[in-house]
Each structure stands twice: as C-alpha cells, then as structure tokens.
Amino acid sequence: MTPEDAQEAVKYGADAIIVSNHGGRQMDDTISSIKALPDIVSAVGSQTEVWIDSGFYTGQNMLKAWALGVLRVSCLVVLLYTDWVLMEKRGNSCPTNSL
C-alpha cells in the first residue's frame, strides 16, 4: 500500500490499482487505506485507475474517497450484510451461522 508498489504495478501493466489493507485493521501499526490513498493517487492516478477497498459503510466515506481521486469504491460488505439480513427475515439460514 505504498506509492512505490503502485508504480511497480503500473510498470508491469496493471489496468487498475486496488488500495486495500484487507484485514490490516487488526494490526496496530498498519496505515488505513484512506490515509494511503492520496500518495498513491498522486503517484499513478494519471496512468491507471485507482480503486479502494476496506471498510466503506456509508456514503460519506465513499464521497471522501472519490474526492481523494479514486474511480471505484468497493462496498461489497454492505451488500452481503443486507442479503444476510433479508435471508434471516425470510427464515433462511444466514451463511455466517455455519462458520
């Protein structure tokens, strides 16, 4: 999640960069994706698409990411959670119950 990593990916032909600290929130010294974003966008944003993933639950957070220069924001967790809630309401078992 560094500008140097992003530049290396572009050098080898990446069509997009996904900025993510997937799971990094459990580690004390990991930078958040949104804090890493401006430097990465500055480094490669004119050469490739920059996307972000990691804990986006509100429209306000998504707007911040777009304002910082990303093209796409992943919010899959919100969609999955919504599906699970609807499944529970219909009486179907939630996939997380089997974990």
Q: Spell out the long-range contacts of 45-48 with Cβ–Cβ below 8 A and sequence spacing 24 or more.
A: 45/69, 47/10, 48/9, 48/10, 48/14, 48/15, 48/16, 48/17
Residues assigned a catalytic role: 22
Please state whether beta strands 49-52 and 16-19 pair in parallel, antiparallel, or not at all (unpaired). parallel
